[in-house]
Amino acid sequence: MLQPGERIRVLVVDDSAVIRRLVTRALEPEADLEVVGTAANGAIGLERVAQWNPDVLTLDIEMPEMDGLEMLARVRRLYPHLRVIMFSSRTERGAAVTLQALSLGADDYVTKAANGGSIEASAARLGEELAPKIRQFFRWPGDGAPAPASAPVCLRREFKAPPKAVGIGVSTGGPAALGAMLPAFPAEFPLPVLVVQHMPPLFTRLLAERLHGVCRLPVGEARAGQAVAAGKILIAPGDFHMKVVSGAGNVRVYLDQSAPQNSCRPAVDALFASMAEVYGGAVIAVILTGMGRDGLRGAQILRAQGASILAQDEASSVVWGMPGAVANAGLADRVLGLDHIVPEILRLAGGR
């Protein structure tokens, strides 16, 4: 927790002098943020970390001498509490390497904007995206942030009817959390698993492909009209709300580009509300690490129908925003460490 008046110290590591100037310019108007230094590659960056003791590192991927992935690995070993935000290109290779970085312990990412417009306009756009992503990791006394995980009193409630589906919502820290959690599902798990991860197009497809390679259940990016099948994991595609609809004796995926909810598309609330319409209370809803409050309204709807709500605890979350909002609203039956969530799902599903 930062003290009143204390600024978040940022180190910018990028081989492009233009990007280093752009990030510095983008953060200059932010009174609570301070760029304490820059570095042109990972080797110099490690020296600057020791010299400047930053709170946050913005890190490019492709750099000479020591690239971003190698620096990230060393930072995680030497400075495990240093927050790392990757800079990603908008290409397939850039997205794939960014997902690799997130799985290796990077906390979040921003995408590099295409060239165009003045440096002032580019800096303003970058600042609007980057500044909130930096702040999400920190709290100040009295800033209204979620209370510690021990505050909510969570009671076990058993299902009125056997569960028919699992819904998972996640944002910041999601790729690593999903990569640790989803492989724990056994191959014979009999329920469909629907996942909303806040990510743009391309990233969600690559995330599904990466998870498919490590899970015992098949994982894929959801397609419009696809059957929601037992024992399969579907990831919402970027820029589309993923909902479920019933008809002709089965449940199918419905995708739309209606207005963002909680500034998100896909949104967890959109999925959870549709699951309540189709399954009623026969749902296990899980809220994992993430910034903001997406999933809170959907959890309220599901809870009112008798669904079971699980929230990740603060200690194992990169950002305890989404799960903290659900827990502090008294909606969570259990607030659990990441390693304990799948065992609880299996228990709620009756060990089937």
Active site residues: 171, 198, 294
C-alpha torsion sign, points 60, 65, 70, 76:
negative
**Tokens matching residue 337:** 């460490």
Distance of CA 268 to the CA centre of its chain: 11
- Report the distance separating Cα 168 and Cα 160, nearest Å: 21
Task: For tokens 């002709």, name the residue.
Answer: 248
Q: Which residues pair with 37 in a beta bridge?
A: 11
**Tokens matching residue 89:** 């290109």
| Residue-level length of the chain | 352
Q: Which of 82, 108, 101, 87 is nearest to 10 (CA)?
A: 82
Number of neighbouring beta carbons within 10 Å of residue 21: 15
Which DSSP helix (H) or strand (E) runs through 317?
none
**Tokens matching residue 312:** 């990740």
- Report the distance separating Cα 58 and Cα 158, nearest Å: 45
Q: Sort 245 into a burial class: Cβ within 10 Å, 0-12 / 13-18 / 19+.
A: middle
**Tokens matching residue 226:** 């696809």
